[in-house]
A and B are shown apart, each in its own frame.
Chain A
Amino acid sequence: MKLASLSTSARHSSQPQDLTPGAGPAAFHFHTVTWQADGFGFDATSGEFFTASPAALIVMQALGEGMARSQILDRLTARFEVTRSTAERDLESFLAELVHIGLTPESN
């Protein structure tokens, strides 16, 4: 099992509803992987499965919706207790990780 992580901590006080398993976004597809709201992802093509943090799920869903990086950062800083510079660093690191584990092509 591979891990798609994003270390950003949750902003519990403001919008906890987004981070509760089952209460967040419904299942969605990101490239070849189907992600469940609880952070479990399955790639039917490769048979691999993954886990992702709530923040990672938000990023992948945003990427799937075609959001620009600045919009994704807006979403992350609104939902998690994180400075924009930290979120930016974590986002870059996460995008590189997505490429590394083959979940998104390098052009993204």
Chain B
Amino acid sequence: MNASPVIAVTGLHRGENPQPGSAVIRSLRRVYPELRIIGLVYDSLESGLFSEEDAPDAAFTMSYPGAGVEAFWQRLDEIREIERFDVLIPCLDAEMAPLVDTPEKLRERGILACLPTAASFKCRDKSKLADLCERTHCRTPQTLAVSDVGSLHQAAASLGGNVFVKGRFYEARHAITPAAREAAYWHMLEQWGAPVLVQENVQGEEYNVVGLGDGRGRMLGSCSIRKMLRTASGKGFGGMIVRDPQLDAIAESLIVELRWNGPFELEFVKSEGPKGEYCLIEINPRFPAWCDFPSSLDCNLPAAALELALGWQPREPLRRASPGKFFIRHAIDMTGDLCDLAALTTLGQFFRQPREFIPHPATSRGL
């Protein structure tokens, strides 16, 4: 391991559907400003590369998930020949399965990560959510997995016609008509592969919980929000912190049942009306794009995840963010330089801060 750990983070694009990587980097730098962070990207135009505040010190292009698992590990090895990173924080759903399924490949390379076991990872799969919710007495919309158009329409009809068509990893489209369902089905199949999920539409307010599990059934910290603003694709663009003991209890029971290790995001809809119940929509096995918001309120979950991965004692207990604080996302334009773009496109790498120029003065954590 490097004297000062080098961290690799993925998912740096904060576009219309923002990925979490840049928020993770910002959170880590709140606590460890001198930390060397490298970005692993799938596109040379991932916006986080060009940010003044959230950019990694260096970036490397990765092979696309479609290229297969072997290509993924091979590229990781090539990158580590140049930048021997010590900790990997994956921020994209599609990357999780190969990492979770073969943790020994990380171990034999000496790469530390804060990941769930394969068993708990599979239990939170969208197609298995009903079983998990039955065991934890949590409500969840009825969801059916389909792999052909005939079963798509059959599933939609059995759920009342007004449904969400969802990709295996990402995306959901509200579809009422057969034509809309079919268009959404083919889109999801092309983007994320089979199966495609058809989910009952529960109307109500959306609530999300971000947290960090210790792998033994305990939550090291969490923060719950109500989505205040949503984009056309349903992504949260603003959120208000809430504190509801009922929501906390549901989140805790899920994490206890899964014995979840690492970051997670629970997505709920609370059905309308005074007796509305929380309905679990999905569990994301990574930080959400809004994870830096609680960090700004002394609930720095990415920093705690890093400490957990490194086996460090937590700096201090994570605070519970107070209800009434909210975030609103703000899109800005950033300036890039053709040199960086060229380096990343032709060589697959670029360095904002060359390794040899990065000092690692001792900080409170000895970085």
Contacts and interface: CB of A to CB of B under 8 A. Distances in A.
Interface string A21-54: 0000000000000000000001011111100000
B274 A47 contact: no
A102 B274 contact: yes
Interface residues of A, number: 11
A45 B274 contact: no
B126 to A, nearest CB: 25
Contact of B225 (A44, A47, A99, A105): A47
A59 B270 CA distance: 28
B324 A42 contact: yes
B201 to A, nearest CB: 21
B273 A47 contact: no
Contacts of A49: 240
A48 B226 contact: yes
Interface in B217-234: 225-226, 228
A50 to B, nearest CB: 13
Contacts of B14: none
Contact of B240 (A47, A102, A106): A47
A27 B243 CA distance: 19
Contact of A46 (B244, B273, B324): B244
Contacts of B274: 99, 102, 105-106
Of listed A44, A48, A105, residue having the most chain B CB within 10 A: A44
Given A46-B205, A46-B242, A46-B244, A102 B323 contact: no
B59 interface: no
Nearest to A106: B274
B241 interface: yes
Given A99-B274, A105-B274, A45 B244 contact: yes
A59 to B, nearest CB: 18
A47 B242 CA distance: 5
Interface string B302-330: 00000000000000000000011000000
Contacts of B244: 45-46
Interface string B235-267: 000001111100000000000000000000000
Given A45-B243, A47-B241, A102 B324 contact: no
Contacts of A47: 205, 207, 225-226, 228, 240-242, 323
A47 to B, nearest CB: 3
Contacts of B242: 44-47
Contacts of B226: 46-48
Interface of B: 205, 207, 225-226, 228, 240-244, 270, 273-274, 276, 323-324
